[in-house]
Amino acid sequence: MNPSHLEREPMKEDNEVREYEERRELGKANVDSGELMLIDPAYLNLEEYPFAAEELTPEERLGTARRVLNERTIHVPTGGDGIWRVIGVYKITETPIPKEHGGGAAKYQELIRLEFEAEPSSPEIKE
């Protein structure tokens, strides 16, 4: 999903720009280590970071993986294990399109923050 794009939707007759926030569930994460990690998948490219290179010992592969993960990720402590809902909060801006140009509204969406919520079925999480 591209959080910043334009799309047309019907709009009320007023000619004012509307701004509001919208929460969307992006997915769920199962946590067994007490933390989540956010990482750009491009940093998991095995050609650039040879985790599985035959010339490395298991300890060296683990060290390389830890270095990359520490340098390229955001660690999010969860306070416990369980299932976490990942919520994206978007700022929505709707700009009216004049009737002579087809009417409706141009809608711009910008991801402004991520939220994490414990699933009610996750009793191990400390609130």
Cβ contact 27:36 at 8 Å: no
96-114 confidence digits (pLDDT tens): 998 898 888 899 999 999 8
Residues 6+ apart with CB under 8 A from 7: 106, 107
pLDDT digits (tens, 9 = 90+) for 11-24: 455 689 999 999 99
CB of 89 closer than 8 Å to CB of 34: no
Distance CA(2)–CA(50), nearest Å, equals 30
- Indicate the pLDDT class of residue 81, thresholds 50, 70 and 90: confident
Position with higher pLDDT, 44 vs 100:
100
Residue with tokens 């095995």: 46
51: pLDDT confidence band, cut at 50, 70 and 90?
A: low
Q: Break the chain into its structural domains and give their ranges.
A: 1-34+80-121, 35-77
How confident is the model at residue 126, as a pLDDT? 52
